[in-house]
Each structure stands twice: as structure tokens, then as C-alpha cells.
A and B are shown apart, each in its own frame.
Chain A
Amino acid sequence: MIYFDNSATTKINDSVLESYLEASKRYYGNPSSLHVMGEETSSLLKRSRMQVAELLQVESEEIFFTSGGTEGDNWAIKGTAIEKMAYGKHIISTAIEHPAVIKSLEQLEQMGWEVTYLSVDEKGQIDLDELKQAIRKDTVLVSIMAVNNEMGSIQPLRKISEILESHPSIHFHVDAVQAVGKIDLDLAGSRIDIAVFSGHKFHAPKGTGFIYLKKGRKLAPLMSGGGQEKGKRSGTENVPGNIAMAKALRLLLEDSTAKRNKLFNLKNELTDYLTKLEKVTVFTPDGSAPHIICFGMNRIRGEVIVHALEKQGIIVSTTSACSSRRKTKTPTVLDMGYSKEEAESAVRISLSHLNSNEEVQEFKNQFNLIHEQMRDIN
């Protein structure tokens, strides 16, 4: 099996799984308990938080554990909305956000908030002037993803930050789920107030995640209860999950330059190959993240390619797993100016540093056959 669907989810790393099992078996006390077992897990939790913070070069107290990306995005958006209700009800986001963002915004819209969705150009990037013009006195939140999950396009976070520099009261939320380990985030000292991360996208267990919340910024809790995570996110802590995630993050960021170079090489190889094929369009723009290639074959629906490749033991996906079964939002390809037909043909390859050159060669061999068989259909 060749697994090329790493933006949907990743395989858990063996040593990460070992830590998860070991921690589940041996350290199962509740960190809030005051007995010795609680103390033990409480210090394990503290250490997980410290490790995550150190790896991202931020402060321990700026890290809050969650259950994953969807929770993080919901929290960042609704938490800000609740927190800043008295100051305004206008939010700026983009048309190409993950459904966790879009659906949260829609929910707020039903309750009286106003949302401006910035459009993207053919490179999948927002227009900075449009952003400038969209900012109003009652804008409380700007929510823009770092790396698009369908296309791999990167938003100009630094330039967005510069614009927001003169609007210090606006919360700047960045969905960094697809970005961690793939691009430089430089959270410390940046204008980013909230960044959202998900563990299972980097070989940690499902159901793990965390947000970075800049010191001094306020975010209303969505989970009320026992006061865990400094009262901001109640619910018994997933200590084994958080330990495993801290380890996975360490492994991800080890030799990250070498890993990124490897990803770039694999991606370039695939892009070069696909670009040369007749009737194949590569949608992923230049200058995008190193692990995602989105392409389509003329008028062949994406799912046909997915099934054809899966028969040969190669796993790819149509765009974004979260929206690929149910139509929950318009595909990013469409927002980038491609036609509906082209959008429906979109197929996404998403790589991990664990993929190899041999796998890429095998993909090419198999895709040659599929291409041969289908290029004259329609």
C-alpha cells in the first residue's frame, strides 16, 4: 500500500504509539487528583506542554491542549466572538477555509454576526488590499489559514500581520493544521494571536491537538466544567495523547530542513511528471507547501481516479476528506477561478516525509496505465 493521503490523516509513528500505550498503562491517574498518581500525571502533562512550547519557541502558558483541529478552529472563532461581543460582531475570513472554520462562521452569521469572506486569486492567495478595505471599526476577528488543505497554497501571513499591526485589538487566528513542519511559522513575536494544530496530521494519535494562544489574549471557553487547562478548556486531560503528540512533534521537527527538502523533491518530481501529461492540469500553484499536489484529468471526475489508483494499492483523495463525501463547501479549485468541471476532476496527493522516491516511481508507473486507458474517454 502506498499512502499518499497524509493531509487527511497520517499513520501513527511506532515509537509515538509505544509512548501512548506505556502512558495509558502506567500513568492513568487523573492529573487533577491530589494523590501521588495524580501528581505524576500532572507533571507528565506539564512536561508535554513544555515540550510543545519549546519546539514552537513559545511559552508553556501559551499552549492549550484540545481534541484536534476542528475543536481548535471552533474555539478560536466562537471563543473570540463570545469574548468580544461587546466590541463588535464583524469577522473577516476567506472563501477557502477548512469547513471547521466556514461552518463555525455560518453558525455565528445565523446569530447576528457579519462575516466578510475574502476571495483568492489563481494562486490561491488573498488580496491584501481587499483585506485592508474589509477591516471595520467593529471587526473583532481575522481568521486566515496558513496552508490550504486542498491546494497547498500558502497565505502571506507576514504581510497580513503587517496590516493588522495597526489594529491591535483584532484577534488574528491562523489555522495551522496543514502548516506545522511544512512552513516556518515563527509564532513568537508575531502578530498571530491564535494558531490551531492537530496531532493526527503529524503522526500523533487521533483526538489530540492544541492551540497557541498569545499571552494576554482572551478567549472565552467553549467547554465549561472542571476548570482544566487553566479554566479555558474543561474536560479530563488526555495525558497519554498529549505525551504522544509532544513526542510526535519533536520527531516531526527533528531535521526539519532535510525533511522539507525531501518533500520538495518528491513533490517536484510528481509535478514535473503530471505537468507533462496530456490533458492533465496541475492546480497547485507555484510557491505552495511542500507536501500537497492537486491535479485533475480532463473531465474525469476525481473519484474515478481515486478508485482506479486504489485498485493498484495507491491511496490518494479527492479534495479534503472532510468535505469529499458530503458537499459542505465549494472546493478551493473553484474559488481559484477554475471551472466546475475542472473542480470536479480534482485529485489530491498529500505526502509525508515517510514517503519514498520508490513510491513516487510506482505511482508514475500506475498512473501511466490509467492515463493511457482514460485520456480518450469523453
Chain B
Amino acid sequence: MQITEILVRYGELSTKGKNRKFFIKKLHRNVRTHLRQFNTVKISSNRDRMHIDLNEEDADAVMAELKDVFGIQSFSPVVKVEKTLEEAKKAVVHLVKQQFTENMTFKIMTRRADHDFKYDTNEMNRLLGTEVEKAVQPVSVKMKNPDVTVRVEVRKDGIFISVDTLSGAGGLPVGTSGKGMLMLSGGIDSPVAGYLSMKRGMSIEAVHFHSPPYTSPQALKKAKDLTAKIARFGGDVTFLEVPFTEIQEEIKKVIPEAYSMTITRRMMLRLTDAIRGHRNGLAIINGESLGQVASQTLESMTAINEVTNTPVLRPLISMDKNDIIKIAQDIDTFDLAVQPYEDCCTVFAPSRPKTKPRLHKVRELEEELDIEGMMQRALDGIVDTVIGKHSDSEQSNEDAFDSLF
């Protein structure tokens, strides 16, 4: 008995009315991207479900990939047997035994696409159910909310049986909700914010501010490695590295310490918004959580947010740090994020930043800066890299080492 296909059930897609076709198409494409290493799988999707025909590919490996695809509610491995009652009985008993728990309840649900088959659905349900009751004990049949539901489908080319239902990642297919620019510092929060936005169907591009020599090459590498981690969920992510040294030095020189944080953040937001404009994004995403640090009070957010009308999405706004850390651990970004490299947010960090900055004061101070000029130079210096989940910034280096090993 061998798993020959995987049955995929859509998530919220089913409620999307007219857009449904678009969502299914997108999901289809995303699944194909996730499974591109498996050359022979065949994916076909219809209104209600998607079938992945394994064609001898490794079922466990394929299912491990599917777990990362947003827009999938659940999926089941399907076993194909010859089109005889005997074979179906054997397979059903075998599969139920695998799931056996004491006093388990079950039901058989047959669908018959091939109406020439000798038994109809009711007969199949009864025959197979009796067989299970005989062979596996103690079990009983239960129609409502059984522990195990055995799905049997009689088709022209065989009988397809499944029992396990594995939950998928949920959410919406990445790319169905437009594109957002993720402000990615290198800390714990921003990758989680990126992940949650992707889960709601956004595709993202990562904007990272880099201030050499105040920030190290390791800090940049860490940001890229974090991007690779979240690329696992939505395919390749464009990583935009913005040179920020001049701006930080200038602010340090000209702006009183208490206001330097607020104005630095305003510059970051302005730059991110400009990049968004060029790259046709619709929103900005950051990892802010209310009250976490001085820049994340409502007063600070008001003062910083004032530079743009673009929606600034903050998926973590009401989450506790512990809950954020839990997600970071789940998506495997935590260990990377806690590596102690200084990033652009800690460079020149004032010892007592204003937690309640006043907007008119901010505007007044900014008049001392050549905002337009500095922004233009930063934008001109942007370096972009496309990062996939297998990208490792050490890779190029590694090849040079090959001969040593």
C-alpha cells in the first residue's frame, strides 16, 4: 500500500465569492513553487480541492513542504488500491488500525465517481464498516464527530482511501493581498511581523537599514539570513539594503539627543515609503508592539507616522513579547535574531529618548536637515538581492573552500 496522492483542502478561500478563481489560481501557483524540487508531481485544482499526484515522489517530503503553504486548511495522504471490494477492505482495516485508540469511533464516507462499480455508496459504507468492526476492536460507528473518518472514493482507475487529516498553515495564499514593504531590523519582532503578513496573503519585500562601519557585516548577514527564513513561506523575497550612515551621523551631529530617535525613525519611514512607491507596494509593515520601547508609544507612533499616509501595518501591536517569541521559535527565526550584533536601531541610541515627542518641535528640528538630499543619496545607494529559502549569505565563500574539504 503506497501513498499515491495528496488531497488538499482550501482554507478561507471558499468564502471569497467572485475572487475565488483568482485565489485558487494563486494557490495552485504557490504550491507549484513550493514543490518545484519534485519534478514529477502533478498538481490539479478544481473548485473544492486540489489533488497532488505524487508520481513516485516521497510523500513525507512533499507533505513537509505543504505545511508551509498559506491558504491550505488541511491535507490528507491518499492510498490507491485496485478496484475490488477485497482490496478496499484490506486497506481500510490497515489504515484504521494505524489510527487505533481504545474505544475509538469511526465512520466510512464513500463517494462514487464510477457509477458502474458493483456496490453503491451505502453498500460500500456498510460493507467496509462491518469489516472494520470485525477486524479492529473495540471500535464503534458514529456518524456525528467520529474520531476517525475514512474517506473512500471509487473512481474509474481505482479506489482511493484516506484517513489522516493533517492541518495546513491556514491563512490566504501569498500574493492575493498585494505587496507590502517589511521594515526588517534584525531583531525578534520584524520577521514575525513579516510572517504574519504573509499569512494574510501579502507578498513582502524586506527593507533593511545598514550603517557601516557602525553596524557590522555580521548584522547585515543576519538580516539576510532572517529573510531567507521567512522566504520559506512565500517564495523568494527581495532584500533591499539602504545605506543609512550619512543620515545617522548627520542626526547625531545636528539633532538634540532626546529627539534623535524620533527623527531617525521618521527618516526610515520616509525612505521606506519612497521605496514602496517605486516598487508598487501598497503598505508598510513593521514589528512594533505597543509600549515595548520608547518609539512604540502611541505618542511616538503619531509623531513618526506623520510623514506618510500609506497604511503602516503593525501585526504585533497588541501582542505580548512572550507570544511573539513563541512564533519566532516556531518559524525558526528566534535563535538567529538573538545573536548580539548591533543594528541601525541601537547605533547612537540616546540614553533618554522622548517617549512623548511633540510634533511641532520635531518639525522645527528637521528644518536643520537636508532631508531631500540625504534621502536621494540613500535611495541611489540601495543594493537589492533576491533571497530564497535556501540562500545562505556564506554560499559564495563556501565554494572557494571546497578544495580544502
Contacts and interface: CB of A to CB of B under 8 A. Distances in A.
Interface of A: 19, 22-23, 34, 36, 39-40, 43-44, 47-48, 51, 243, 246-247, 250
A247 B403 CA distance: 10
Given A19-B404, A246-B405, 6 more contacts: A22-B403, A34-B216, A43-B398, A243-B404, A247-B405, A250-B405
B218 A44 contact: no
A44 B404 CA distance: 9
Nearest to A50: B405
B405 A39 contact: no
Contact of B218 (A34, A47, A247, A250): A34
Contacts of A48: 405
Interface string B214-237: 001110000000000000000000
Interface in B370-405: 394, 397-398, 401, 403-405
A47 B398 CA distance: 9
A34 B222 CA distance: 14
Contacts of B217: 36, 39
11 contacts: A19-B405, A34-B216, A34-B218, A39-B217, A39-B218, A43-B394, A43-B401, A47-B401, A48-B405, A247-B404, A250-B405
Contact of A243 (B218, B397, B405): B405
A23 B218 contact: no
A243 B398 CA distance: 13
B216 A43 contact: no
A36 B216 CA distance: 10
B46 to A, nearest CB: 42
B213 to A, nearest CB: 11
Nearest to A23: B404
A51 B401 CA distance: 13
A262 to B, nearest CB: 25
A225 to B, nearest CB: 20
A43 B405 contact: no
B232 to A, nearest CB: 20
Q: Is the contact region of chain A dominated by helix, strand, or loop, or is it mixed?
A: helix
Nearest to B341: A34
Contacts, number: 29
A51 B216 contact: no
Interface of B: 216-218, 394, 397-398, 401, 403-405
Nearest to B216: A34
B397 A40 contact: yes
Contacts of B405: 19, 47-48, 51, 243, 246-247, 250
A34 B219 CA distance: 11
A185 B124 CA distance: 51
A43 B404 contact: no
Contacts of B403: 19, 22
B221 to A, nearest CB: 9
Given A34-B216, A36-B217, A39-B217, A22 B404 contact: yes
Contacts of A39: 217-218
A19 B398 CA distance: 15
Contacts of B404: 19, 22-23, 44, 243, 247
A326 B398 CA distance: 46
Q: Which 7 A-B pairs have the closest CB atoms?
A: A19-B404, A43-B394, A243-B404, A247-B405, A51-B405, A23-B404, A246-B405
B212 to A, nearest CB: 12
Contacts of A247: 404-405
A19 B394 CA distance: 20
Nearest to B404: A19
A127 B218 CA distance: 55
Nearest to A43: B394
Nearest to A19: B404
A80 B404 CA distance: 35
A246 B216 CA distance: 30
A4 B134 CA distance: 67
A261 B403 CA distance: 29
Contacts of B216: 34
A205 B218 CA distance: 32
A57 to B, nearest CB: 17
With most chain B CB atoms within 10 A of its CB, the pick from A22, A36, A43, A51 is A43
B205 to A, nearest CB: 27
A179 B401 CA distance: 29
A247 to B, nearest CB: 5
A39 B217 CA distance: 10
A37 B394 CA distance: 14
Nearest to A51: B405
In this complex, the member of B394, B397, B401, B403 whose beta carbon has the largest number of chain A beta carbons within 10 angstroms is B401
The interface centre, meaning the residue of B216, B217, B398, B404 with most chain A CB atoms within 10 A of its CB, is B404
Contacts of A250: 405
Nearest to B400: A40
Nearest to A15: B403
A283 B43 CA distance: 65
Contacts of A19: 403-405
Contacts of A51: 405
Given A19-B404, A19-B405, A23-B404, A43 B218 contact: no
B398 to A, nearest CB: 7
A47 B399 CA distance: 11
Contacts of A23: 404
Nearest to A36: B217
B195 to A, nearest CB: 25
Contacts of B401: 43-44, 47
A292 to B, nearest CB: 29
B386 to A, nearest CB: 22
A123 B242 CA distance: 70
A361 to B, nearest CB: 36
